[in-house]
Structure 1
Amino acid sequence: MHIKDKIASLSWLRSEIIGRNMGFETPFGLRPLVYADYTASGRGITSIERHITRILQYYANTHTEDDFTGKTMTGLLHEAERVIKQAVNAGPKGKLIFTESGTTGGIAKLQQILGVYWPPATRERVNSFLLSCLTRNPDREDCNLALNNFIQDNKPIVFVGPYEHHSNELMWRHTLCEIQEIPMGKDYGVDLEELERRVSDPLYAHRLKIGSFSAASNVTGLRTEVYELARILHRYGALACFDFAACAPYIEIDMNRDSEAYFDAIFLSPHKFLGGPGTSGILVFNEDIYPKKLPPTVAAGGTVDYVSPEKEEFIKDIEAREKPGTPGILQAIRIALAFRLKEKVGLPLIDEIERHYFESFMQAFAGDDRITFYGPLEPDRKIPIIPFNIKHKDKYLHPKFVTRLLNDLFGIQTRAGCSCAGPYGHYLMNIKQQFSNYYRCLITNIGYIGIKPGWVRLNLHYALDMTELNYLIEAVKFVVEHGAKFLPSYIFDIKSGEWQHRKQACSAPISLDLDDIFDPSPIQAPVIDASAQYADALAQARTIAAGLSEDFETMTFEKELADLMYFYVHSGINYHPVSERIL
């Protein structure tokens, strides 16, 4: 079957995406909503939401097990758990925990299980106890020093990669662990030789070793050799844990590939799946890493077999004892349905379509040095996440300005910023330590968030059709060619980084007011063919650009700020001059 026919075969899926090509108001008129931000969050699916509504007929608390509704929902929850564990090949020892906030919640729960979670207030309280003890007993200083040295020499060590999401790096920085970043290898991936050298170091032989790596970068889409990493980690007694947030909707997850290439834990954010909005995070782990003799990580209702006035007996089953309170029943069901949808589409088709889209997109900009792409560009090494910046003269267009133009002129949804991957961003944009310090000073001391370096990020999801792909390409080409002409039309807020059209601000189309809640109007059905709207938007943008000029005055700043302003701003911005003493 030709690739165009394979793309066309997913027309049934496109007709299910809630809000696809929905019209919305922008400063330039009505535009079709074209979603290219699946890396941040997925989109709702009509049939899944309809089925959830059916299930709500039977909704009850799963702690109620002796009546019709409670038994029905308990059965659905257990079915959802089986579906999810099967989807990741969790194996007979695989345990599933639903967490509160995507991958971040999964990592936090893993840290609690491993005994390294260290809330700042707890750390502060313990330190105050030790300091108070030392103050009262100054002759015990040697003992105090010995204790601190013992902790430093024996606390767990965590190895992370060079392109982690903040959640998989910052959270480990603030635990009872030492953290080491494994640098990039020559192929821009994790340096496997350096990982093996460090994890095999006899200095760490007596310590708990944890590898926690992104399975793919949420910035560049670069895929990690997760099975090879797992082999290396297990060879030297380390745990192999992986963050699948960026790539779980698109690739196979096999927690038990073989006796060496298995995962001790994975965490991911199902809200990034088609059908996933409204879901919780999940942590799936091998029961061997769980301390069964200890109480659950949160002792609460639903975790106990018996409670007397003096003592409590906790449930032995790991999954049950780690469900404190009422579980997110509907969230769990949604996750299972999203995984089943992924399975129905099929991984081979997903991979083939996305590879074709990525190659088509990159070919459209081949040789154009006005657009800068970041990270490796080999399609067989990545999922089609594309970070880029657009050059103008000797600087760039601010990424949030580009995202705003794509939204206002074309209805295209993308994301601008550092994508919660600041350390990786320093590497990609070649930001030296001196300038990093300057940025941090101006951002934290003065609040100039708008100068923070970043990029535009879009992803080429398999649910797009060829018309949408070509529209995306033409829209980005337009901004490359004409984007700078629109700078005088927008106001830049250096405090927030937001760009607002000078003449028109569009009101929110929906609210939580009761009038909106009880509005009987049907939800706008997905528009299957919006090619006419795409053509109109492109034609109107070209007409507007023809009447604009690049000959306009740009804002100049004092040297301390000008050196950090990698983008152009039209004159008229409000800001307070930077004091040299702050720098």
Structure 2
Amino acid sequence: MNLDVLRKEIVGLDKFFKTPYGERVMTYADYTASGRALKFVEKYLVEIQKFYANTHTEDDITGEVMTNLLHKAEKIVKNELNASKNCYVIEAGAGATGAVLRLSEILGLYFAPATRERFKNLIDNSDLNKEFNKNLYEELKRELHDNGPVVFIGPYEHHSNILMWRESIAEVVEIKLNSEGYLDLEDLENKLKDEKYSERVKIGSFSAASNVTGIKTDVYKVADILHENNAIACFDYAASAPYVEIDMNPENGSYLDAVFFSPHKFLGGPGACGVLVINSKLYDNSIAPTTAGGGTVDYVSELGQDYYKDPEEREKAGTPGIMQAIKAALAIELKNKIGLEKIEELEYEYTKKFMDRFENNENVVVLGPKDPDKRVSIISFMIEHKGKDLHPRFITKLLNDLFGIQSRAGCACAGPYGHRLLGIDSAKSEIFRGIIQKDVHSLKPGWTRINLHYTMTEEDVDFILDAIEFIAEYGYLFLEEYQIDLKSGSWNHINSIDQINLINNFGIESSFDYINKAFEYEKIVDREIEYKKYLNEAKEKAEKLKIIYSGDFKKYKDEYYESFRWFDFINAVNHI
């Protein structure tokens, strides 16, 4: 598949938007959070929707078409993941998060918080408590902790692959980082072999790559270690699935028991459902499905119900996300049509270019190991200035306003890993936690993240690097023109601009404007000219700011908050 053709098909590729410094063409570098839609895919989906109907029937043409298309979509996913012979595909609504929830339910681990609380109250109020003179609920928790299932997770997990297990009945054991900043395989082996886990159900659930630093896990090596120690091998591919091969049954004898990921992060994938692919041996169809309802049953009467024997059918309670599943399959298939070798080659080249550019820049701190061979092209960085950091949300705002670059600031839903990357110990973590619980989010540590995507041109990548380099050298000057909300942590230019009409006018009436309107193709923008213009304008503005720059940094009114301030600001609202 030709990348030049694909680029022109990206929805919003040459979209201009207003900023305090004039109009900017959008340069999207936030693929780690979500992919971009493709015009030809959207058109194809419109064609499919001419036959749209609910599944669960093949007695009329619409039901027959949609039921068969859904099955074909699942078959595509299986084929692309080499999962046809022994795996089930299960769709989940909320991306990888929904998929890992479904996995934990299938494994019998997830216990809904409200159910857990009701169960606790029933036991606490039971006469059994008085009879045995014990807190039976606490005894049960202790028993589960000591003898129940145990889930081993990695040191750079997304919150979804941490919290779902913490909220389950399992004990959660974290494997540490090794001295080079990667998953410590020796620690994994040692903990799996620990005698206290020998008779317990053991499950490993590891990120295939970090959504913060992009560092990759040796998935099949980890799977082999897990299987050698009678553990189930599960992997979160949310960050890396758009860029790497997923093979459930490689020829070397290794195999994966379960994978989950978010096709909305793929090129062409926005709007797709989450996907869980599991080895058939994990599914017990002698019990009820994880969600009971219409579409899961063979027969229901006053006396009982019989569920479908096919797990893929019995896990489709209600109306499936038919179009979402179809879109997921198309996005996954497209990745392999583009070619993994081409994707990996470009992302290696772009990652290396970033590392080489900033290797000796004292103001730019790149998080995590730097070897581009061991990363997908997800890069998180910080910018320092005179002993403090530029706030990551300020950096993201400058990238947007000065250059049109879309990035993301924060902790990337990877708090525990972030603690290690930023050197935040337990004591300081609790301090930050207390501050944030008081709704002071401006002090929450974080970084800025970009993704140098394979659809970018060399020109795009150079521009993004030029923009970051500019902010590293001159970004502090723009503190004169921006203000921070000391409660929320958001940054805005002191001269606010109107929200775009899409926000102000959102509603069904605005959609009427598109009646009888063809799919719009934006005119092709000469990005080289635009990029040079933005960089020149930014430099001219920086020179003007040098003249008026005061360096008159302000402080929090509260001395306690001030003692933990790690960034500078000049203008602020919501003083605290």
TM-score (norm. length: structure 2)? 0.96
Q: In structure 2, what is the equivalent of residue 545 of structure 1?
A: 542
2:551 partner amino acid:
F
Secondary structure of residue in 2 paired with 1:283: strand
CA distance in 2, matches of 1:561, 1:388: 24
Q: 1:554 to 1:139 in 2, by over 3 A?
A: same
Q: State the match for 2:81 in structure 1.
A: 88
1:148 to partner: Cα distance: 4.6
Distance 1:58 1:246 in 2: 34
Query: For the Cα contact (< 8 Å) 1:416–1:457, is it kept in 2?
Result: yes
Residue 536 of structure 1 is matched in structure 2 by 533
Provide the residue aligned with 2:29 in structure 1.
36
* Residue 233 of structure 1, CA deviation: 0.4
Task: Answer 1 or 2: higher relative contact order, Cα 8 Å, separation at least 6.
Answer: 1
Pairing 1:234-249 to 2, within 5 Å after superposition: 234-249=227-242
Please show how residues 381-460 of structure 1 align to structure 2 within 5 Å: 381-444=374-437, 446-460=438-452
Match of 2:454 in 1: 462
Is 1:26–1:506's contact at 8 Å kept on the other side of the alignment? no
The residue number in structure 2 matching 1:186 is 179
How far apart are 1:21 and its partner, in Å?
A: 2.5
Structure 2 CA distance for partners of 1:312 and 1:504, relative to 1, 3 Å = same
- Residues 146/386 of structure 1: CA separation in 2 closer, same or farther (3 Å cut): closer
Partner deviation per Cα, 1:294-343 (whole Å, 9 max, x = no partner): 01111100000011122111110110000001111111111111112111
Q: Which ranges in structure 2 are unaligned for 5 or more consecutive residues?
A: none
What secondary structure is seen at the aligned counterpart in 2 of 1:360?
helix
Aligned partners of 1:379 and 1:351: how far apart in 2?
10
**258 and 567 in structure 1: CA distance in 2 versus 1, 3 angstrom threshold:** same
> Quick one: which of 110, 131, 134 aligns to 2:103?
110
CA displacement at 1:528 relative to structure 2 = 5.4
- Cα deviation for residue 529 of structure 1 reads 3.5
The amino acid of 2:550's aligned partner reads D
In structure 2, how many angstroms separate the alpha carbons of the residues matched to 1:39 and 1:145? Answer: 41
Q: Where in structure 2 are the equivalents of 1:53-92 lying within 5 Å? A: 53-92=46-85
Number of residue equivalences: 568
Q: Distance in 1 between matches of 2:105 and 2:316?
A: 14
Q: CA RMSD, aligned part only?
A: 1.7
Which of 202, 205, 208 is residue 215 of structure 1 equivalent to? 208
Provide the secondary structure at the position in 2 that maps to 1:211: strand
SS at match of 1:547: helix
Distance 2:341 2:475 in 1: 37
Does residue 516 of structure 1 match 2:515?
no
Alpha-carbon distance in 1 for matches of 2:312, 2:112: 24
Quote how far apart the aligned CAs of 1:473 are.
Answer: 1.2
Query: What is the distance in 1 between the residues matched to 2:159 and 2:464?
Result: 29
2:162 aligned to which of 151, 156, 169: 169
CA-to-aligned-CA distance 1:380-405 (integer Å, 9 cap, x gap): 10011111111111101100000000
Q: CA deviation at 1:259?
A: 7.1
SS in 1 for 2:134: helix
Query: Is the CA contact 1:160–1:179 (under 8 Å) kept in the aligned structure 2?
Result: yes
What is the alpha-carbon distance in structure 1 between the residues aligned to residue 478 and residue 406 of structure 2? Answer: 18
- Cα separation, partners in 2 of 1:33 and 1:371, compared to 1, 3 Å: same
CA shift digits 1:35-68 (9 cap, x unpaired): 0000000000011001001001111111231001
Higher mean Cα deviation, 134-143 or 550-559?
134-143
Decide whether aligned partners of structure 1 residues 357 and 67 sit closer, same or farther in structure 2, where only a CA change above 3 A counts: same
Deviations 1:455-501 (A, max 9, x none): 00001000001111111111111111111111121110122111111
TM-superposed CA distance for 1:201, in Å, is 2.0
Deviates more, 1:144-153 or 1:77-86: 144-153
**Contact kept in structure 2, 1:160 and 1:182, CA below 8 Å:** yes
* Distance in 2 separating the partners of 1:136 and 1:219: 47
Residues 124 and 136 in structure 2, CA contact (< 8 A), matched pair in contact too: no
Question: Would you say the 8 A contact 1:43–1:277 is kept in 2?
Answer: yes
Determine if contact 1:16/1:526 at 8 Å carries over to the other structure.
no
Deviates more, 1:143-152 or 1:119-128: 143-152
Q: Is 2:486–2:572's contact at 8 Å kept on the other side of the alignment?
A: no
3-state secondary structure, aligned to 1:519: helix
Q: Is the 8 A contact 1:435 1:564 kept in 2?
A: no
SS of residue matched to 2:379: strand
Match of 1:17 among 10, 17, 20: 10
State the distance in 2 between where 1:293 and 1:177 align.
Answer: 22
AA partner of residue 540 (structure 2): T
2:144 is the counterpart of 1:151: yes
Per the alignment, in what secondary structure is the counterpart of residue 203 of structure 2? Answer: strand
Q: Any conservation in 1 of the 2:479–2:571 contact (CA below 8 Å)?
A: no
Secondary structure at 2:126 match in 1: helix
Q: Please tell me the residue identity of whatever aligns with 2:161.
A: N
Per the alignment, do residues 388 and 149 of structure 1 end up closer, same or farther by CA in structure 2, a change over 3 Å counting? closer
**In structure 2, distance between residues paired with 1:382 and 1:117:** 32
**Residue identity opposite 1:407 in structure 2:** N
- Contact 2:392/2:448, CA 8 A, preserved across alignment: yes
1:453-492 to 2 correspondence within 5 Å?
A: 453-492=445-484
